[in-house]
Amino acid sequence: MLLGGLWHGASWNFIIWGGIHGVALAVNRYFGQLDSNIYMVAIFKNKLIAWALTMVVVFVAWVFFRAVDFNTAMLMFRSIFQYSPGWLETKLSPSFFELLLFYVLLQYLVHTTTVGFENYIKRPFTLSLIVASLVLYSLVYYVDGNDFIYFHF
């Protein structure tokens, strides 16, 4: 896979990209030959966990593939793992998260109780319509946004 990295370009980033894929393939082959009765092997052979690990490896490798040089790749990783609320801090008010928590709890109650909402609202479509209306209401009234530009004229 190192040669595959060199084929994409003569840069350390492409060599690292190929190396990451080569190591991932070697680990895959190694775990594929082991007995599934071993606990750790059984975990890695779980399709969901295997898929998630594959995605993490591929996403990390893409950073090296996309970056101009190694320093840029390291800067990209720092940006990925550094906390920054970004648009959440400027657009969403705390009351929005309170409503979101309410909706999550409401959904949990609907799916876990047989007496509560299911006897009150007989049709799932009606309940879905009510929840969708509440979510739309919260998006319209609890999200702070910029005024439409033509309102300033």
Distance of CA 119 to the CA centre of its chain: 35
> What's the CA gap between 74 and 57, in Å, rounded?
16
> What's the CA gap between 86 and 95, in Å, rounded?
18
> What's the CA gap between 48 and 53, in Å, rounded?
9
State yes or no: is 8 an active-site residue. Answer: yes
Cα dist. 70→5, 8, 113 in Å? Answer: 14, 15, 54
- Give the burial class of 5: count Cβ atoms within 10 A of its Cβ; 0-12 exposed, 13-18 middle, 19 or more buried: buried
Which of the residues 8, 21, 111, 152 is marked catalytic? 8
Distance of CA 28 to the CA centre of its chain: 23
18: how many CB neighbours lie within 10 A of its CB? 21
Catalytic residue numbers, as ranges = 8
